[in-house]
Amino acid sequence: MSLFEQFETDKTKEQDGVPVEYAPNTDGTIPVFYLARIGGANSKYSLLIKKLTKQYKRQIQLDSLPDEKLMEISIQAFSEGALRGWENIQDRDHKNIPFSVENARNLFKQLPDLFADLISQANDIELFKLAQIEKDTKN
Protein backbone atom coordinates (compact mmCIF):
# COMPACT_ATOMS: atom_id res chain seq x y z
CA MET A 1 0.00 0.00 0.00
CA SER A 2 1.44 3.35 -1.04
CA LEU A 3 1.76 6.40 1.17
CA PHE A 4 -0.95 8.09 -0.89
CA GLU A 5 -3.30 5.19 -0.24
CA GLN A 6 -2.50 5.41 3.45
CA PHE A 7 -2.68 9.17 3.96
CA GLU A 8 -4.37 11.05 1.10
CA THR A 9 -7.69 12.52 2.16
CA ASP A 10 -10.70 14.02 0.43
CA LYS A 11 -10.49 17.77 1.07
CA THR A 12 -14.22 18.18 0.44
CA LYS A 13 -15.04 15.61 3.13
CA GLU A 14 -12.64 17.35 5.51
CA GLN A 15 -14.46 20.66 5.06
CA ASP A 16 -18.07 19.65 4.47
CA GLY A 17 -18.20 16.77 6.92
CA VAL A 18 -19.03 13.09 6.98
CA PRO A 19 -21.85 11.29 8.82
CA VAL A 20 -21.06 9.51 12.08
CA GLU A 21 -23.87 7.25 13.31
CA TYR A 22 -24.63 5.97 16.78
CA ALA A 23 -26.90 3.23 18.13
CA PRO A 24 -30.61 3.70 17.40
CA ASN A 25 -32.84 5.79 19.63
CA THR A 26 -35.73 4.07 21.41
CA ASP A 27 -38.00 5.00 18.48
CA GLY A 28 -35.64 3.30 16.01
CA THR A 29 -34.25 6.48 14.44
CA ILE A 30 -30.48 6.67 13.99
CA PRO A 31 -28.62 9.58 15.63
CA VAL A 32 -26.21 11.07 13.11
CA PHE A 33 -23.61 13.79 13.58
CA TYR A 34 -21.98 15.43 10.54
CA LEU A 35 -18.34 16.08 11.33
CA ALA A 36 -15.68 18.01 9.48
CA ARG A 37 -12.10 17.06 10.18
CA ILE A 38 -10.20 18.72 12.98
CA GLY A 39 -7.21 19.91 11.01
CA GLY A 40 -6.41 19.04 7.43
CA ALA A 41 -8.38 21.16 4.98
CA ASN A 42 -10.73 22.42 7.72
CA SER A 43 -8.91 25.53 8.86
CA LYS A 44 -12.04 26.95 10.52
CA TYR A 45 -11.52 24.84 13.65
CA SER A 46 -7.85 25.81 14.02
CA LEU A 47 -8.64 29.49 13.55
CA LEU A 48 -11.35 29.31 16.21
CA ILE A 49 -8.99 27.62 18.68
CA LYS A 50 -6.44 30.38 18.13
CA LYS A 51 -9.07 33.09 18.54
CA LEU A 52 -10.65 31.56 21.64
CA THR A 53 -7.35 30.84 23.40
CA LYS A 54 -5.60 34.11 22.57
CA GLN A 55 -6.53 35.81 25.83
CA TYR A 56 -5.50 32.73 27.82
CA LYS A 57 -2.12 32.24 26.15
CA ARG A 58 -0.08 32.83 29.29
CA GLN A 59 -2.27 30.57 31.43
CA ILE A 60 -1.99 27.84 28.82
CA GLN A 61 1.80 28.18 28.75
CA LEU A 62 1.90 27.92 32.54
CA ASP A 63 -0.60 25.04 32.48
CA SER A 64 -2.80 27.01 34.85
CA LEU A 65 -5.96 27.35 32.76
CA PRO A 66 -8.78 25.66 34.70
CA ASP A 67 -10.02 22.43 33.12
CA GLU A 68 -13.57 23.83 33.01
CA LYS A 69 -12.43 26.77 30.88
CA LEU A 70 -10.41 24.53 28.59
CA MET A 71 -13.45 22.28 28.12
CA GLU A 72 -15.66 25.30 27.41
CA ILE A 73 -13.24 26.53 24.73
CA SER A 74 -12.95 23.06 23.20
CA ILE A 75 -16.72 22.61 23.04
CA GLN A 76 -17.22 26.03 21.48
CA ALA A 77 -14.50 25.52 18.86
CA PHE A 78 -15.79 22.05 17.98
CA SER A 79 -19.44 23.14 17.83
CA GLU A 80 -18.65 26.08 15.55
CA GLY A 81 -15.68 24.71 13.62
CA ALA A 82 -16.12 20.97 13.13
CA LEU A 83 -19.75 20.03 13.74
CA ARG A 84 -21.72 20.59 10.55
CA GLY A 85 -25.10 19.36 11.74
CA TRP A 86 -27.04 16.44 13.15
CA GLU A 87 -30.17 14.34 12.75
CA ASN A 88 -32.30 12.43 15.23
CA ILE A 89 -30.53 13.71 18.33
CA GLN A 90 -32.90 13.36 21.27
CA ASP A 91 -33.06 14.61 24.84
CA ARG A 92 -33.79 12.51 27.95
CA ASP A 93 -37.51 12.60 27.15
CA HIS A 94 -36.89 11.26 23.63
CA LYS A 95 -37.78 14.56 21.97
CA ASN A 96 -35.71 15.69 18.99
CA ILE A 97 -33.25 18.49 19.64
CA PRO A 98 -32.98 20.83 16.65
CA PHE A 99 -29.43 21.48 15.52
CA SER A 100 -27.85 24.76 16.54
CA VAL A 101 -24.46 25.67 17.92
CA GLU A 102 -26.05 26.55 21.25
CA ASN A 103 -27.90 23.22 21.44
CA ALA A 104 -24.69 21.41 20.56
CA ARG A 105 -22.77 23.20 23.30
CA ASN A 106 -25.48 22.32 25.83
CA LEU A 107 -25.55 18.67 24.73
CA PHE A 108 -21.78 18.30 24.98
CA LYS A 109 -21.74 19.87 28.46
CA GLN A 110 -24.31 17.29 29.55
CA LEU A 111 -22.58 14.38 27.77
CA PRO A 112 -18.82 14.96 27.92
CA ASP A 113 -18.05 11.37 26.90
CA LEU A 114 -20.07 11.85 23.70
CA PHE A 115 -18.07 15.02 23.08
CA ALA A 116 -14.80 13.12 23.61
CA ASP A 117 -15.92 10.41 21.20
CA LEU A 118 -16.88 12.95 18.53
CA ILE A 119 -13.50 14.69 18.91
CA SER A 120 -11.84 11.32 18.40
CA GLN A 121 -13.95 10.68 15.29
CA ALA A 122 -13.16 14.13 13.86
CA ASN A 123 -9.45 13.35 14.27
CA ASP A 124 -9.71 9.94 12.58
CA ILE A 125 -8.07 10.18 9.15
CA GLU A 126 -9.89 7.04 7.99
CA LEU A 127 -13.21 8.94 7.90
CA PHE A 128 -11.82 11.46 5.45
CA LYS A 129 -9.94 9.29 2.96
CA LEU A 130 -10.65 9.58 -0.74
CA ALA A 131 -13.78 7.74 -1.85
CA GLN A 132 -11.86 5.69 -4.43
CA ILE A 133 -9.55 4.36 -1.75
CA GLU A 134 -12.58 3.31 0.31
CA LYS A 135 -14.00 1.47 -2.72
CA ASP A 136 -10.68 -0.27 -3.37
CA THR A 137 -10.42 -1.36 0.24
CA LYS A 138 -13.86 -2.98 0.14
CA ASN A 139 -12.97 -5.07 -2.93
Do the beta carbons of residue 73 and residue 67 sit within 8 Å? Answer: no
**Residue 81 CB coordination number (10 Å):** 22
Residues 6+ apart with CB under 8 A from 72: none
Where in the sequence is the domain holding 111, given as residue range(s)? Answer: 3-138
Q: Which pTM value belongs to this model? A: 0.87
Structurally, the chain folds into a number of domains equal to 1
pLDDT bin (cut points 50, 70, 90) of residue 5 is confident
Model confidence pLDDT, tens digit, residues 65-102: 999 999 999 999 999 999 999 999 999 999 999 999 99
Residue closest to 15 by CA, chosen among 39, 38, 35, 42: 42
Q: What is the tens place of the pLDDT at every residue in 45-62?
A: 999 999 999 999 999 999
